[in-house]
Amino acid sequence: MNPNLLNFDAAQLTDFFAEIGEKPFRAKQLLRWMHQRGEADFSKMSDLAKPLREKLAAHASIWAPQVVSDTTAADGTRKWLIDVGKDNAVESVFIPEANRGTLCVSSQAGCALDCKFCSTGKQGFNRNLSTAEIIGQLWIASRALARDVGATPAPDAASDQGAAPRGERLISNVVMMGMGEPLANFDNVVAAMRLMLDDNAYGLSRRRVTLSTAGIVPAIDRLGEACPVALAVSLHAPNDTLRDVLVPINRKYPLAALLAACRRYLDKAPRDFVTFEYVMLDGVNDGAEHARQLIDLVRDVPCKFNLIPFNPFPKSGFKRSPRETIRRFAETLLAAGLVVTTRKTRGDDIDAACGQLAGRVEDKTRRTRRVVEIQPC
């Protein structure tokens, strides 16, 4: 079967051209056609010689996963359900804002980490996505959004300074926060992120690509060496006892090891802080003592907190913390000198909000599902 060139980053594509007897610079040309122009038809790549186009058609292909559904919420949030084969589908979400457009990308069909408040985890786990299936979500979204406004999918790179995107760039930020644990699919995720960063592909800055992890410590260290981007950590608890239950990977990589990895990562990171994500669960992790424990926990880690109101899904066993509770929690952290934001819930009317992505997963784990009763610590 001919290779799908969406699976290749620049280095891999250069190797492919060498194998078929072509010059290395052809890789840059093809990257621009595939990712900047969203073109999958070799015959339309006009600056490639006709014999090369014919050779590519004979020896390679370009294809992204098929879109099952495309839904837009009342607030403009847009969600794609994407078929990844064998009864599995993943979801990616575009969140438009005044000064940016953020695409949330999935990395696995399901998730094996089983975080107790996450809809994806309730679906079980099937497999890792390929590089083509990961970058294909950006490819699909870029093409779809560009069609809406009559623009090219990936114009000149946005400014690194945090300003509004230039020109017609519709996707200015990518967050690896969709279905799955990105660091459990390390090689394919890194290859996809390299394409996001490549000036011949999507040209995003490292500050505008964020990877969110539940805390696979050795892989955080590998990421710092291989492809340092902005780092977000799904913290969700201020102590090991509670986090062992909410985020079971903590039993293998407890908080002390995780925070040490965060400090090491900052030596390579494009930002000078780590973002700690903290879902607010009523009566579980949202008390005054939890806030005080968090302050002590992160005292020597440059960070900011993103408080996430829990987004309900069927049989979760949790409730969202009241607005006033979240406000008091944030004020306690702010008073200690921490940077704190509270995430605005977007797309919850189409189940596109944080923690609600479920897709369709043919579960290979066969794990028994049950609601876990958690007592406040």
Do the two domains 5-59 and 66-350 of this chain adopt the same fold? no
Answer yes or no: 354 catalytic. Answer: yes
Q: What is the residue type of 118?
A: C
Produce one character per residue of 112-146: b if its CB has 16 or more CB atoms within 10 Å, e if not: bbbbbbbbbbbbbbbbbbbbbbbbbbbbbbbbbbb
Q: For residues 2 and 336, what is the distance between their CA atoms, to the nearest angstrom? A: 57
Would you call 353 helix, strand, or coil by DSSP?
coil
Q: For residues 352 and 358, what is the distance between their CA atoms, to the nearest angstrom? A: 9
Q: Please report which helix (H) or strand (E) contains residue 69, including its range.
A: strand 66-72
Q: Which two tokens mark 83? A: 């078929």
Alpha helices, DSSP H, located in the chain: 10-19, 25-31, 50-59, 119-122, 131-149, 186-197, 217-226, 240-246, 255-265, 288-297, 323-335
CA 115 to chain centre: 16
Residue 75 phi, psi (nearest 5) = -90, 10
Reported CATH class of domain 5-59: mainly alpha
Q: Which two tokens mark 335? A: 């008073």
Residue 156's contacts (CB-CB under 8 Å, 6 or more residues apart) are: 166, 167, 169, 203
On whether the CB atoms of residues 298 and 261 are closer than 8 A, the answer is no
CA 215 to chain centre: 14
Produce one character per residue of 285-302: b if its CB has 16 or more CB atoms within 10 Å, e if not: bbbeebbebbbebbeebe
Query: What single DSSP character describes residue 281?
Result: B
**Helices and strands: H and E segment counts in the chain:** 11, 12
On whether the CB atoms of residues 157 and 215 are closer than 8 A, the answer is no
Query: Domains of the chain: which residue ranges?
Result: 5-59, 66-350
On whether the CB atoms of residues 135 and 202 are closer than 8 A, the answer is no
On whether the CB atoms of residues 337 and 302 are closer than 8 A, the answer is no
User: Tokens 């899904």 label which residue?
Assistant: 313
pLDDT of res. 366: 65
Exposure of 305 by Cβ count < 10 A (0-12 exposed, 13-18 middle, 19+ buried)?
Answer: buried
- Give the residue among 200, 177, 207 at the shortest CA–CA distance from 189: 177
Q: Which two tokens mark 189? A: 């995720």
Q: What is the pTM of this model?
A: 0.90
pLDDT of res. 279: 97
User: Tokens 């990518």 label which residue?
Assistant: 174
Query: What single DSSP character describes residue 248?
Result: G
Give mean pLDDT in consecutive 10-residue pieces for the chain, a chain of 377 residues. Answer: 96 96 96 97 96 96 96 92 93 93 96 90 90 98 90 56 48 96 98 98 98 98 98 98 98 98 98 97 98 98 97 88 98 98 70 54 62 33
pLDDT of res. 316: 85
Q: Are strands 230-234 and 108-110 parallel, antiparallel or unpaired?
A: unpaired
Q: For residues 138 and 136, what is the distance between their CA atoms, to the nearest angstrom? A: 5
Instruction: Write down the CATH number for the domain with range 66-350.
Output: 3.20.20.70
Q: What is the residue type of 215?
A: G
Exactly one of 39, 91, 181, 277 is catalytic; name it. Answer: 91
Q: For residues 244 and 365, what is the distance between their CA atoms, to the nearest angstrom? A: 20
Give the bridge partners for 305, in sequence order: 276, 340
On whether the CB atoms of residues 363 and 125 are closer than 8 A, the answer is yes
Exactly one of 104, 118, 262, 354 is catalytic; name it. Answer: 354
pLDDT of res. 376: 33
Answer yes or no: 362 catalytic. Answer: no
